[in-house]
Amino acid sequence: MFEAIAFYFFSAILIASALMVIAARNPVHSVLFLILCFFNAAGLFVLAGAEFLAMLLVVVYVGAVAVLFLFVVMMLDIDFAELKRGALQYLPLGALIGLVLVAELVMAGSAWLLKPPVLAARAHATPEGVTNTAALGHILYTDYIYYFQIAGLVLLVAMIGAIVLTLRHRPGVRRQVISVQNARTAAMAVNMVDIKPGEGA
């Protein structure tokens, strides 16, 4: 019963916050609702027994979103004085969202305290005696090692392609040419000048 209530609670807030991500006009509000989405998805992962994926979602995606939030603030040149003027009117909404997050953390944590009824009703995706992290690592690095490496290679090629496509060659900027540097000789590197007495260099 408790697991079903927690599932519907997390799912409802996840769907509502996902809708607010695309409905909010302020990009800062969209990012905050996106962080709320990630926390709710992590709660659903915990209920499903995938605690490693839940922690990965919070650490990687929420951390990455926080960094992207910083870049958005720097690139959009947001007027903080204008935002602070209306900050008090959003205080009740912010407090409500904070209470919702605290309630979700308490519900997800209490599932571990109520182990006999909750964990017995939960479907076990991993074998007995094996943690979720160990089972996931065993599957990734044994059964799907080639697919895992191919996915990493695809991401590497995509990163290199993005760098090549966005690289701009500006005129007047000196660039390093390795072949020219390796082909330099002493005669090319040193220029002997005969300075007569009384003349400047």
Mean pLDDT of 64-88: 67
150: pLDDT strictly greater than 90: yes
The confidence score (pLDDT) of residue 80 equals 58
What mean pLDDT value characterizes the chain? 78
- CB of 48 within 8 A of CB of 118? no
Within 10 Å of residue 30's Cβ, how many Cβ atoms? 17
DSSP 25: S
Mean pLDDT of 26-46: 84
Residue with the bigger pLDDT between 96 and 133: it is 96
Ramachandran assignment for 77, one of left (phi > 0), alpha (psi -120 to 50 degrees), beta (any other):
left
pTM of the predicted model as reported, rounded to 2 decimal places: 0.51
10: pLDDT strictly greater than 70: yes
CA geometry: angle at 131 spanning 14 and 129, to 5°?
135
In this structure, what token pair is assigned to residue 187? Answer: 């005669």
Q: How many residues does the chain have?
A: 201
Least-confidence region, from 7-21, 97-111, 180-194: 97-111
The confidence score (pLDDT) of residue 109 equals 67
pLDDT confidence tier of residue 2, bands split at 50, 70 and 90: confident
136: pLDDT strictly greater than 90: no
